Amino acid sequence: MAVKIRLARRGRKKAAMFDIVIADSRAPRDGRFIEKIGTYNPQTNPATINFDGDKAFDWIMKGAQPTDTVRAMLSYRGVLYRKHLQLGVIKGAISQETADERYTAWKDDKDAKIEGKRTSLGTAKDEARQQRLAAETKVKDARSEAQRAKLAAIEAANAPAPVNEEATSEAEGETTEAAASTEETTEAAAE
């Protein structure tokens, strides 16, 4: 019986999540499995991979064959590197302590890189949000300034013209003469 480490799909349409399972290669994809060792969620950034590394390592050492996607995940989490080191211990090339030290150093470095990516994505998201907010504020200020200018232009058009004293006295004199001539015309028409 050929044993595979593979993904079993679950989740709703267009929002897939996967279980990482140990299954007989002849079993259907979402069907019968021997053991569930973890989950994989590709919807997050970076993708969330949670599985029991010790169980995966045990199954790999027993001869279980991972699919291409699962192989990439196992490599990403260091299970295949651990297998490589363990084969070196079995052959006598290195000691178990050396293999453990190398694996621990690699694991710490990898975890730091993953956390660095997660924080950089978070800060990039915050910076993008701040830039959008600044752009919206700039547009809002430009609109309010345009409205103020428009209101000032309307008020200037509706406001009375500045009074010039000489022009006012001449206009008053003309108005009085026009009123007197109108009165004379009405008196003449009345007779």
Write out pLDDT tens, residues 79-134: 999 999 999 999 988 899 999 999 999 999 988 988 888 888 878 878 888 888 88
Asked if residue 162 is part of any domain, the answer here is no
**Structural domains of the chain, count:** 2
Closest alpha carbon to 46 in 129, 124, 133? 124
Domain extent for 107: 97-153
In angstroms, rounded to a whole number, what is the distance separating the alpha carbons of residues 120 and 98?
33
Asked if residue 173 is part of any domain, the answer here is no
Q: Are residues 14 and 73 in the same domain?
A: yes
Q: Are residues 77 and 124 in the same domain?
A: no
Identify whether the C-beta of residue 22 lies closer than 8 Å to the C-beta of residue 33: yes
Query: Residue 11 — left, alpha, or beta (φ > 0 → left; ψ -120 to 50 → alpha)?
Result: left
